[in-house]
Structures are given as structure tokens and as C-alpha cells.
Chain A
Amino acid sequence: MSTQTATRGTHRPRVATGSSQKFNDHSRPAMAFLAPFVGLYVLFIIGPAIYGLVMSFFDTSLVKPGLSTFAGLGNYAEALQSADFWSSLWHTIWFTILTTPPLIVLGFVLALLADRVGRGRWFFRLAFFAPFILPSAVMALIWIWIYTPGLGLLENALKSIGLGAPNWLGDPAWAMPSLAISTVWWTLGFNFILYLAGLQDIPTELYEAAAIDGAGPWQQIRSITIPLLARTTTLVAVLQVIASLKVFDQMYIMTAGGPNFSTRSVLQYIYDEGFTNFRVGYASALSMLFFVVVLAVSAAWFAIVRSQESEV
């Protein structure tokens, strides 16, 4: 294999001068080392990406072989004019709006508290991060049970303090907020850990200096902690937004996109069109549009990070 090739012919051991490798061409062993990854990459990432792009121009069907009839830009036109597509996009954005601020603020605040308290950090890490390690299906089953009308824990807790409770997952106005609440519980731990790491990077001398100047805890947080965590916050925000764009699991399991499609996300719409309605050509066009949206958000992040780094 490549061992034989390498030792036999390509290069002879030389006395280390630091530049011994410069004039060698390692194309053949490189190919051997790259082949497994690149092979799988082309077969299962690049290939399907191209195939998906091609399919988006045809009315391909899941239950028929081949590409079927040519549709030109028809699928894209349909998608852009489809109320279902835009509402699914809106639902996804609404979900993002409902989850991102709480996840950032809570993550930051709790990390701040944990950092300040110092002791027992393992307990807080466990409490906040354990949900993150759960599969979405487990989280969904637990929250469906918590949200069950009549028997659910949340409803009973609210009733015991005299408040009423809506039909969490069955009321179109409350379904998405309910999904958001369970998502915050599920994923907060990740941000908590990110912020905690960022906080531990801040040198204590800064706080000491500020304390000497008479700055109270609040002031210290405002003038030292928050500005220095700007990069972490940006990272958290972007990861959060991009992950929210790809949301599927919660909707699929907890509300099936309902009630009345009020929680159907873009990805779930793609799933419904491609796999329930068999219209894979149309679903491919939707996937391409979705890809553009994700790309745009990523590009925006890149630009923000670039500008932040040039400031620093």
C-alpha cells in the first residue's frame, strides 16, 4: 500500500535541514491518504448536491424512476409564490426569534452566576447540560407529557397558583411558544458552557482594578464582562440562529407541524412535499432556496466576525 510506495521510491531519508521536503511531490501518497475521505465526500455530499440541483428543474417523483418531465424554473416559481413556503419560512423565523434571545441571555446570566459563585460548578454544569445530551425524541416525549391537557405538570403548577393554562400544543397561538420553551430547556447547556469558558478567560486583574476604583458588581459586569464576551456572544448568536433555521425534530414529534400547520418549519415543509406528497423535484427546489437562506446567514456572520476582529 502506501507504506511500500513511500519507502521504496518517492523520497529518500535526508539529513534534516529543515527544507528537506520542499522539492518533493507527494502526490501519490497524498492521493492514497485523501482517497477514503474525498471518495465518500464526493459520493455522498457533492454528488447529491449536484443531483439535487438538477432535480430541482424537473418534476421528479419519489415513486417514479428517472427525472420525469422538465419543469425549468417552474418549481422555483411555485415555491416563491407558495403561501405554504413563505409561512413555513415565517414559522422558522418566529421560532428563531422566540428561542435565540432567551438562550443567549439566560446562558450568559447563568454562566455569570456560576462563575461568580465558583463552587459546586459540576452540579450546575450537570443540571444545565444534561438535557443537551438527550436525543430530541426523548426531550419531545417528556415535554409532550408535561404539556398534556389536564394531566400535565405545567398546567397543574400554574393552576395551583391560581393561573390558567392554555392548551399548550393544541392552541395555534401557543404551540410555537411551547416548542420554544422546551427547546430552551433542551439546548441552554451548550451556551452555558460556552459562556462559562469565555468568562474564565477574563483576567481577574481587570475586576480587581475596577473594584479598587470603586466599581460595584453591576458596573464591573457592564464595563468589563459584557464587552469582553462580545465575540462569544456573536458566536453563540450565530450558532443559535443557524441551528434554529434547521429546526425539524421538535415540530415533527410534538405537533406534527400543527395545529393547522402553524408550527411547520421550512425543513418540515420540505419533508412533507418530498416524502409525503412524493414531489422530490419540488422539494429539491425548496432545499436549494433553503440552502441560500442558510448561506446568507452564514455570510452575514462572517462579515460581522471580520468587522469585530478588525475593531480589536
Chain B
Amino acid sequence: MNLPLSSHQGSGRGPTRRTFLKGGLAMAGLGLGGTALAGCSSDSVASGLTVSRKETNSVDFWNLFGGGDGVRMQEMLDAYRKTHPSVGLSAVTLAWGNPYYTKLSLATLGDKPPDVAVAHLTRAKTLIAADLLEELTPDALATVGITPDKLSKRAWDAGLVDGKAYTVPLDTHPIVTFYNTDICEKAGLLDSGGKLKPLTSEAAFMDAMAKAKAVTKTYGGVSPINNETSTPWRIFQSLYSQLGGEVLSDGGTKVVIDEDRAIKVLTFLDGLRTKQLFPSSVDYEGSIAMFANGQSAFLFQGEWEISTFQTAKTPFSMAPFPNLYGGANYACQADSHTLCIPKQPARDDKAFENSLGFIRSLLDQSDTWAAGGHVPSWLPYAKSPAFKKLSPQSDYAVAADGAVYDPDGWYSGSGSDFEIITGSAIGSVQAGQQTPEAALAQMRTKLQTLADTASPI
């Protein structure tokens, strides 16, 4: 190797190093440029090198709304920006489900959580137990005019932990019945007012599906099964709760599935497949398509799909999920989107004030949100004539009062392991891959494992 001797004079800097230095400077320049561009506010990237906390007048908002909900939320956020021009609002949308809650938890642990976050009521319970949310005292809420009497009682009470509130419900989103009005009319399933006649027994339901199938020539009803665990769970839970059954108790430490009731429901769902009233292999998108183009007269899904069919101009209306077993005790699976304030590392009154104001602003725009199909929790709007005129939302709003939330448990809630376990077992029955007994046994075993695991919170 040829080596220059005596580099005391520093003559050893060769071209390669120069290139590297040049490259390095270029990179640094890019970084500095980026910093300059991004560094106008005190929330600059350079703050990543210091343990600084932001002090500016702004609200960071995290949500998990994509698709139609996302568009509607954007509208509401833009309206907030117009009415509060001095407050810098920055909103981030993250992927729905476990990834969202993991990031929210990690951000709160990492001392840089958003100011306000959306959380499903059932998942918020876990966050509250993990001490990651700020308590919203009656006084604090009153400063922006939010009082319990202005919120849906069911949603509000369901969110309380030891009588304390940590979340403000924005809506309740139950599973509902979508029905094609043209097909149902031909099948003779509508009443004189053009609304679906209530189906109040297994036999009535099967009969209606058969009549619908005679018109569509393919299927009577549809609900997604493939690669989908939430919907099978929601359908099962609605019917099972109507029978009075429960799945977990004692904060998720006990599995209390009632064998008979569960088998009854699973057998019924299995029957829909064997009688070929429902398809046994269809994924989420497929089920939407089937309903939109009239291959199925009924779709059982969450109300949020209302915009899809309005855009597709399908002749449809909506009704509460059928009350097959409940009689006077109607039940349907639902969850609520709530707004919460994650625990901040340092108490900042101004930020807290801004956050509450932001929450109030979203509640004030419940009309925009309800247009997306959700049942508003904000009573000043929900009880107003304007909402009552909103169709078909007002047709199924009553379902919110019979909302059954997922049972308490550190592993439970919307999109959680609990729903994945139950949903895949139920879905396998709907797909004809397992008998009801086998699926129930699978569900019980897997839930028992989780129930036996010491809670990490």
C-alpha cells in the first residue's frame, strides 16, 4: 500500500474524503434547509435534539377516520379553522385498529401525545385503566358548555369509570340493516309507509330473506366474512345479547359464554348459509358491491356505509338491526367514537382550554357528522327537528339506546384481539368451515387464555 509519510502537514486529505465531506455538507445543507423550512414555528425539527415542549397556541388532533368519515372529519376541521383562526390546528389520520391505539399509547408514554384524540369508547377504557388519559371534570367540561344532560345517556354512562369521565362521546355507531327498497317492495316486505316491516323472529327473518332471494335470484342478504372479524362479531353479539347472554365478566378475567344461547345464535347463522340465503364467501368490499348492485336485498353492517350507497344511487333505506330475540330488551352491538385528552407531561392550562374548545366545536358540528350515518351523542342536535328530518338516520337512531358495548377487558374493544378471536370463530361458522360447537369451543379456549393472562394495566 502506498502511504504518504508524515502527515503532520495534513496533506493526507484525499479526494475520496473530500467527496465524502462534500456529500456530507450537501446532506447537512439539505437538513438545514429542511429545518429552516420547517423551523419557522417553535415546534421545529431542531426540537428533536432537545427535550423541549411546545408552547405555541395550537391543537394537535389524531383520528383514525379514512374514507367517507375522513372526508366529513376534514369538513369539520376546516370549519373549526375558520372559527378559530388564531389556533393552529394540525390533524393526523392514522390507520384504524390496533396500530392507532399502539401509537397513541406510545406517544403518551413518550411525552408528546396529541392534544385531542379520537378513541373508541371500548378502547378508551383500556387507556383510562393504563392512566393515559386526563380526567375531564364536570367543572372543566362546563367551561365549554358540555354537561351530561346534553349528551346521550347511554353513551355517557358507558364511558364513566368509577363515576369519573375521561371521554366525551361524539356518536354511537351501531350495526344496522340496509335494505334495498325496490327489491323489498317487490318481495312484499315493506309496510304501507314504505318502511321495512320489523322482523321479530327467526322464522320471520328467514321468510323475508327467502322472499328477497326470489326477487334477486342470487341472495337474500349478505354480511362480510372473508378476512373480516368485526362484522361477524357484531352480528353475533347483537343476537346473543338479545338473548341476554354475556361473554366476559369481572373486567375480562372470566369467560362466561352461555353455551345454549351461543349455540342457538351460531346455528341460526349457519342456517342462513345452508339455506343459501346468505353467501358463505364474501369479503368486505364484495359485500358492499353485492348490495350496491342489487345482488342482495339486505346488508348487515355499520351505519357508516351510508355514503357509499348514496353515492352509488342505490335505492335503499336503513332500519335498526333486527330484534329477533329481544322483545322488549332490544340490543345491537355498537361502539361510540369519543374524544379524549391524553395525559400531557406538563399541565398547560392554555392548551387544555384550547383542547376543550376544540371538542366543543366538533360536537357543535354533529350535523355534518350525522350525515355520515352516525347517531349523534350531542343531544341539542340529536333532539332537534333538523335531525328528525334526516332520513334514513332518524329511522335507526333509536338503536343507539339499545347499544351493547364490547365487554370490559384489557384485551377487548373495537379492533382488539378479543374481536379478532371471536370474529374469526363466528366467521368460520358463517363460511361453513366449522360447526357451531367447534367454533364455540375454539372461542372459549382462546378467550380463556387471554382471561387467564395477568392484566398489564
Contacts and interface: CB of A to CB of B under 8 A. Distances in A.
Q: Do A and B come from one complex?
A: yes
A167 B454 CA distance: 38
Given A276-B98, A277-B456, 20 more contacts: A59-B454, A62-B456, A63-B109, A63-B457, A64-B456, A71-B454, A170-B226, A171-B227, A256-B95, A256-B97, A256-B98, A256-B99, A260-B227, A272-B98, A276-B105, A277-B410, A278-B105, A278-B130, A278-B457, A279-B453
Interface string B401-441: 00000000011000001001000100000000000000000
A170 B227 contact: yes
B259 interface: no
Contacts of A63: 105, 109, 130-132, 456-457
Nearest to A271: B102
Contact of A69 (B102, B109, B132, B454): B454
Contacts of B420: 260-261
Interface in A229-257: 256
A61 interface: yes
A149 B285 contact: yes
A278 B105 CA distance: 9
A52 interface: no
Given A63-B131, A149-B285, A275 B454 contact: no
Interface in A76-125: 78, 82
Given A260-B424, A272-B98, A277-B417, A62 B411 contact: no
Interface of A: 59, 61-64, 69, 71, 78, 82, 149, 167, 170-172, 256, 258-261, 272, 275-280
A261 B423 CA distance: 13
B438 to A, nearest CB: 16
A260 B411 CA distance: 16
10 contacts: A59-B454, A61-B457, A63-B130, A64-B457, A78-B453, A167-B283, A170-B227, A170-B283, A276-B98, A277-B417
B101 interface: yes
Contact of B456 (A82, A259, A261, A279): A279
Nearest to A258: B227
A100 to B, nearest CB: 28
Nearest to B454: A59
A76 B132 CA distance: 29
A172 B95 CA distance: 20
B229 interface: yes
A59 B453 CA distance: 10
Contacts of A279: 453, 456
B106 interface: yes
A167 B411 CA distance: 30
A266 to B, nearest CB: 17
B454 to A, nearest CB: 5
Interface in B130-144: 130-132
A62 B98 contact: no
Given A59-B456, A259-B227, A275 B102 contact: yes
A277 B417 CA distance: 9
Contacts of A61: 456-457
A275 B410 CA distance: 13
A184 to B, nearest CB: 24
Contacts of B102: 275-276
B336 to A, nearest CB: 21
A62 B227 contact: no
Contacts of A82: 449
B229 A260 contact: yes
A172 B130 CA distance: 34
B360 to A, nearest CB: 29
A240 B105 CA distance: 34
A55 to B, nearest CB: 12
Nearest to B101: A276
Contacts of A258: 227
Nearest to A172: B227
B279 to A, nearest CB: 16
Contacts of A277: 410-411, 417, 456
Contacts of B457: 61, 63-64, 278
Nearest to B427: A260
Interface string B101-130: 110011001000000000000000000001
A269 to B, nearest CB: 12
Interface in B79-106: 95, 97-99, 101-102, 105-106
B232 to A, nearest CB: 12
Contacts of B449: 82
Nearest to B283: A170
Nearest to B228: A259
Contacts of B101: 276
A74 to B, nearest CB: 9
Give the most central of B97, B109, B456: most A CB within 10 Å.
B456
Give the most central of B99, B130, B227: most A CB within 10 Å.
B227
A256 B99 CA distance: 8
Contacts of B411: 277
Q: Which 3 A-B pairs have the closest CB atoms?
A: A61-B456, A278-B456, A63-B130
Contacts of B132: 63
B365 to A, nearest CB: 31
Contacts of A64: 456-457
A261 B98 CA distance: 13
Contacts of B131: 63
Contacts of B105: 62-63, 275-276, 278
B306 to A, nearest CB: 23
A280 B106 CA distance: 13
B423 to A, nearest CB: 9
Nearest to A278: B456
A249 to B, nearest CB: 14
A57 to B, nearest CB: 14
A33 B75 CA distance: 59
Contacts of A256: 95, 97-99
A170 B360 CA distance: 39
A261 B410 CA distance: 20
Contacts of B229: 260
Nearest to A281: B456
Contacts of A59: 454, 456
Given A63-B457, A258-B227, A260-B424, A275 B106 contact: yes
A63 B229 CA distance: 28
Give the most central of A61, A171, A172: most B CB within 10 Å.
A61
A170 B131 CA distance: 36
A62 B109 contact: yes
Nearest to B108: A63
A78 B424 CA distance: 23
Nearest to A175: B227
Nearest to A256: B99
Interface string B277-296: 00000010100000000000
A291 B349 CA distance: 47
A275 B457 CA distance: 12
Contacts of B97: 256
A62 B106 CA distance: 9
